[in-house]
Amino acid sequence: MKRIGYGIIGVIFILMLCMAGGGSAAASSHEAADAPAKQAKPSIVLSYSIFFPPTHAQCIAGTQWAEEIEKRSNGYVKINVFPGGTLTAAPDCYDGVIQGISDIGMSCFAYTRGRFPVMEALDLPLGYPSGMVATRAANDFYDAVKPKELDDIKLLYIHAHGPGLLHTKKPVQNLEELKGMKIRSTGLSAKVVEALGGVAVAMPQPGTYEALQKGVVDGTFAPIETLKGWKQGEVIKATTECTSIGYTTAMFVVMNKGKWNQLPENIQKIFKEVSGEYIDVHGRVWDEADAEGREFTLELGNAIVPLTDEENARWKAAVAPVIGDYVKEVSEKGIDGAANVTTLRDVIGKYDQ
């Protein structure tokens, strides 16, 4: 009889537990619709090629993006990050994603000039005031135009640095003082230098410090974060705050289209959600780096030189042909360059409040 009594008590106890846990079971069922159960081993393993070195704030942000996807998928997805161009070099990153060398890639549209004629509009000297504005504007621009030139991949999101400014070994307050100065620049910024009357000297960032130190160049066009990040504040004396013509460099985060299409719908949803959130993460990281660069150069005793309203107008007028040339060049390819520029100015204005 005791055994029967214990059995009945046990059954009642189990039933009570089930009734008490009913809400949790329902919640778990609901969560399972959005993400797989915790995995002992990941079911999807992806590679991610990033051209930034591992210590760079943007590489760290990209790595955190990958970790957040792993977390929200409960370990269903694992993303292995390869920083510093170790898997694919920066100019080869986009094609590397198409070819499946990496599943995901982060690099710059500008590293393959002419490859992305629509997206190149992002890098024009349109007066980006900050990295956050540039990053938000870049994503809005893509959403507005959806260029076919990116149809061979899945674009996850874009980010872009703060305004490219003029940093020189002696203060520059007007176009006359800039005329004839040798200024380190690359790609589109070289056209900006020439339009302003300077002499463009093509040079990557790693060689800029020594070139400034030895007098090979008189200055450099770059976001102010380089003054700390690349220690260039030690070899310049002034920054001309020409944000009215500030250009940016847009960077993509893209995924192999085949791999994207193979992802379960709930996993695609996680990728979209996290990517949407990380637009502002990257924008904020760029602005924090710019703030650190500004503080660093001021601590060294360097000057920040603002342009007068009159001089700002002169600089904007000087670079207008750079924008006009873009419109003309892409129009010959059947692209409405004027519409692209108008769209960009609208979205920059939307966020520059």
What pLDDT, on the 0 to 100 scale, is given for residue 147? 97
Q: Which residue stretches of the chain are H helix?
A: 2-20, 22-32, 57-72, 93-99, 131-145, 175-178, 188-195, 208-214, 226-229, 257-262, 265-299, 309-331, 337-351
Q: For 175-196, what is the mean pLDDT?
A: 93
Q: What confidence tier does 20 reach under pLDDT thresholds 50, 70, 90?
A: very low
Per cent of the chain over pLDDT 70 is 89
**Polymer length in residues for the chain:** 353
% of residues, the chain, pLDDT over 90: 80
Task: Grade residue 319 by pLDDT with cuts at 50, 70 and 90.
Answer: very high
Q: What is the mean pLDDT of the chain?
A: 89
Best mean pLDDT range from 29-33, 133-137, 205-209 = 133-137
Condensed to tens digits (0 to 9), the pLDDT of residues 93-147 reads: 999 999 999 999 999 998 887 899 999 999 999 999 999 999 999 999 999 999 9
Q: Each residue of 234-281: pLDDT tens digit?
A: 999 999 999 999 999 999 999 999 999 999 999 999 999 999 999 999
- Stated pTM of the model: 0.83
Stretch 204-227: mean pLDDT:
93
Q: Which of 188, 189, 166 is nearest to 242 (CA)?
A: 166
Q: Which residues pair with 303 in a beta bridge?
A: 238
